[in-house]
Homo-oligomer: A and B are copies of this chain.
Amino acid sequence: MEKKIAILPGDGVGKEVSRGAVTILQAVSERFGHTFQYVYGKIGGTAIDEYGTPLPEHTLDLCKGSDAVLLGAVGGPKWDQLPGHIRPEKGLLKIRKELELYANVRPVQYYRSISGISPLRKEVVEGADMVVVRELTGGLYFGKPSERTFQEGKASVVDTLFYQKNEMERVIRYAFELATTRSGKVTSVDKANVLESSRMWRETAEEIASEFPDVKLEHMLVDNAAMQLIKNPRQFDVIVTENLFGDILSDEASVLTGSLGMLPSASVSAQGPNLYEPIHGSAPDIAGRNAANPIAMILSVAMMLRMSFGLVEEAEAVENAVKQVLEAGSRTSDIASTGVFPLTTEQMAEEIKAAL
């Protein structure tokens, strides 16, 4: 198989974990006889530095012309004082919108081999295995107006939570389809006792549910969900929710595993290539020190192999290699217990490659 992969390392540790991803892709291509072509583009702070904008047109073109996009991370203190519209995060938001990445898929799993790093009691978290499906191109992130105003002579500000019903439908349908391949349960999270958008969300979930008689639909209020995720994480299989709730809940869910450095994500496009990225950020505090955990990025590669290229065996090989090195005790600093001498980003990637 021949595939063209756009790689956007971005900022901070994004650069380092992207190299880890390529290490693994090369190993996969050798073992399974595929040809991967890599095209590199800039996004985030590094793009601002070079082109004055966090997502240059040619980066976008390069993504659109590829079969899948791998993204590292964006942002850093260097660009924190810039005006809103040229901040690194804008690059991320813009690529989501431009590629119509409507469903962000974040699997969260408890790994027995690194159980010591979860802040939760073992009895509570053991066996937890869920996927958070987050709407990614609507809601408060993109609604207009989003601006300062004067009302009755008083300084005020407004942001807008806007959704089209069909934007709700497609992401909820995605979650139901995913549930048919798992345990068959969808938890739709909203704030229907307060928000009109949530009431439409809930109705829409009911409508989509009628297309999937074998999937069980459950509604949960977002405040309760924030609690239940920690109290009883095993109750969840597929969670689907709107953009901002998904942002909060998926980061919260990451604590079940214990480190952001373990968690991959896929962003599914309505028409173009999907985008894959670790859920961690650019981690300025450890950037450039070859210390970041590349596993989140490498598991994102596995998701890409499976979801964009249909290479199921290859994806499983990568996932198993990760499991294997973890079980053998390999640790980067984020997942090491005290006293263990941690591997560098590069060493961890090499060990996973060797296990492949």
Contact = CB atoms under 8 A, between A and B. Distances in A.
Contact of A223 (B143, B158, B251): B251
A195 interface: yes
A119 B160 contact: no
A122 to B, nearest CB: 9
A194 interface: yes
Contact of A195 (B146, B193, B230): B146
Interface residues of A, number: 58
B140 A154 contact: no
Contacts of A229: 252
B161 A87 contact: no
- In this complex, which of A146, A166, A196, A251 has the most chain B Cβ atoms within 10 angstroms of its Cβ? A196
A354 interface: no
A247 B222 CA distance: 9
A286 interface: no
A229 B249 CA distance: 12
Contact of A154 (B166, B200, B245, B260): B166
A226 B200 contact: no
B158 A164 contact: no
A155 interface: yes
A255 B124 CA distance: 12
A335 to B, nearest CB: 13
A277 interface: no
Nearest to A167: B156
A244 interface: yes
Contact of A140 (B119, B163, B194, B200): B194
A160 B163 contact: no
Given A248-B223, A251-B226, A255-B230, A160 B158 contact: yes
Interface of A: 75, 84, 87, 89, 93, 119-121, 124-125, 140-141, 143, 146-148, 151, 154-166, 191, 193-197, 199-200, 222-224, 226-227, 229-232, 244-245, 247-252, 254-255, 260
Given A93-B194, A120-B230, A222-B248, 20 more contacts: A84-B196, A84-B199, A87-B193, A89-B193, A119-B125, A148-B196, A155-B164, A156-B163, A157-B162, A157-B197, A158-B197, A159-B196, A191-B247, A222-B247, A223-B247, A223-B248, A227-B254, A227-B255, A230-B252, A230-B255
